[in-house]
A and B are shown apart, each in its own frame.
Chain A
Amino acid sequence: MIDLRHGWNLSFKPQFIGFILSLLLTVSVYRIVTHHELTDSLLTLTVVSFCTLQALIQLFFFLHLGLESKPHWAMITFLFTLLVVVVVIGGSLWIMDNINYNLMPPMEH
């Protein structure tokens, strides 16, 4: 992202590679969802993994994350932020799931 020595700042090529890969992923995940051929949980898994893969591709080819030289500040700040986001989202889902469970009316029998 920061280091100029790789020449990626000047190059059109990584942008095209990232675009083609993203386009392929977007079109295929859209086709998979609209064709209703997968079971529910498998479909969710597919959408989530295609999404994650596309995010990683764009971080690398578009934002050039991981190309900087030591001490890798961009990567360190990214990983720390990712940790925070995982805790926020995972924690929220976990807490709300527990609340829903504990607020269920008691079973009759």
Chain B
Amino acid sequence: MMTHENYPDPHHDTYSRTIFGFWVYLMSDFILFGALFATYIVLQDSTFAGPTAHDLFHLPFTFFQTLVLLFSTLTAGLAGAAAHRKDKNKTLLLFSITFLLGLLFFGMQLHEFSQFLAAGHSWQKSAFLSAYFTLVGTHTLHILFGLLWIPVLLLPVYREGVSHVSIRRLTCMRMFWQFLNIVWVFIFSFVYLLGAKIT
């Protein structure tokens, strides 16, 4: 007779099941962004005599933004490892750095959006701008939710130290942030770098 050990199941405990469930959520988000990327690629040349990607984007600004988000992803990953080590101080410090860098990224994105709007380049101007604001705006909204989520998770850590529940939630948070950085790599490449190239 086969014993239970013959079928190793890594998803036996709450931690593994939660992390896997969160992974499946991230995969559904992946499809969402995939659809938005498809829309953007189809519509990027439909500028309706308005500004093109080449006219609008200021690459050095976005490059700095990319570095800020990449660095915040590093601190999020380190914070996740610190949480698993039950190192309360490092967890709090590193996730706070992630929060502050995320806030800087969010502010820079809002600054870019407001500059476009002030110049009259709103989402109503052309199909290209509609697709741009939808794609990048959806990413920015995700960042905003991440920024709201971090303090909520850090408060119990600050009060009671790193518990098992905290480790599980902080790991989901860490994965969410790392996933958003991968999405940003695609936005930076396809929207900004390739957009700046089109002349």
Contacts and interface: CB of A to CB of B under 8 A. Distances in A.
B81 to A, nearest CB: 5
Nearest to B183: A55
* Prevailing SS type, chain B contact patch: helix
B185 A15 contact: no
B37 A59 contact: no
Contact of B31 (A19, A73, A81, A93): A81
Contact of A70 (B8, B20, B34): B8
A40 B37 CA distance: 21
B197 A1 contact: no
Contacts, number: 126
Interface in B90-125: none
Interface residues of A, number: 48
B40 to A, nearest CB: 10
A10 interface: yes
* Prevailing SS type, chain A contact patch: helix
B73 A19 contact: yes
A73 B178 contact: no
Nearest to A26: B66
Contacts of A22: 70, 185
Interface of A: 1-3, 9-12, 14-16, 18-19, 22-23, 26, 29-30, 33-34, 40, 43-44, 47-48, 50-51, 54-55, 58-59, 62-63, 68-70, 73-74, 77-78, 81-82, 84-85, 88-89, 92-93, 96
7 contacts: A3-B10, A22-B70, A34-B59, A48-B189, A59-B182, A63-B178, A88-B34
Given A3-B10, A74-B20, 7 more contacts: A12-B78, A23-B67, A48-B190, A55-B182, A55-B186, A85-B30, A88-B38
